[in-house]
Amino acid sequence: MDTTLAAYGWDDRWAAVFAPFARSDNQPGRVVRHDRIAFVVATSHGLASLPAQRSVGPLAVGDWVVVHDGEIVEVLERASLLRRKAPEAGEQLLAANVDIVAMVFGADRPLKAGRLYRTRTQVWDAGATPLVVLTKSDLLDSVDELVERVHVIDPLLDTLVVSSVDGAGLESLRRRIEGKTLVFIGESGAGKSTLVNALVDGDVAAVSAVRSTDHRGRHTTTSRELYPLPGGGVLIDTPGLREIGLWTDDAAVDGAFPEMDELSEQCRFRDCSHGPEPGCAVRAAVADGRVTAERFAAWLSLRDEAAAVTQRTEERAQALRDQQGGRPARDEPRQQGPD
Domain ranges of the chain: 3-75, 81-237, 250-323
Read off the pLDDT of residues 242-290 as tens digits, 9 standing for 90 and up: 445 544 555 567 666 778 878 888 998 888 888 888 999 998 999 999 9
- What's the 3-state SS for 141-196? CCCHHHHHHHHHHCCCCCEEECCCCCCCCHHHHHHHHCCCEEEEEECCCCCHHHHH
- Separation CA 272–CA 291 (nearest Å): 17
Class of domain 3-75 as given by CATH: mainly beta
- Percent of the chain exceeding pLDDT 90 equals 35
Instruction: Answer yes or no: is pLDDT of 185 > 90.
Output: no
Predicted TM-score (pTM) of this structure: 0.69
DSSP type of residue 217:
B
pLDDT in the model for residue 138: 83
- Give me the phi and psi of 325, to 5 degrees please: -70, -20
Q: Do the domains 81-237 and 3-75 match in fold?
A: no
Read off the pLDDT of residues 23-35 as tens digits, 9 standing for 90 and up: 989 999 999 999 8
Instruction: Answer yes or no: is pLDDT of 50 > 90.
Output: yes
pLDDT in the model for residue 252: 61
Read off the pLDDT of residues 101-113 as tens digits, 9 standing for 90 and up: 998 888 877 787 7
- Cβ 224 vs Cβ 181: under 8 Å: no
Class of domain 250-323 as given by CATH: mainly alpha
281: amino acid identity, one letter: A
- Separation CA 110–CA 140 (nearest Å): 13
CATH, domain 81-237, list 3.10.20.90, 3.40.50.300, 1.10.3720.10, 3.40.50.1240: 3.40.50.300
- Separation CA 246–CA 115 (nearest Å): 11
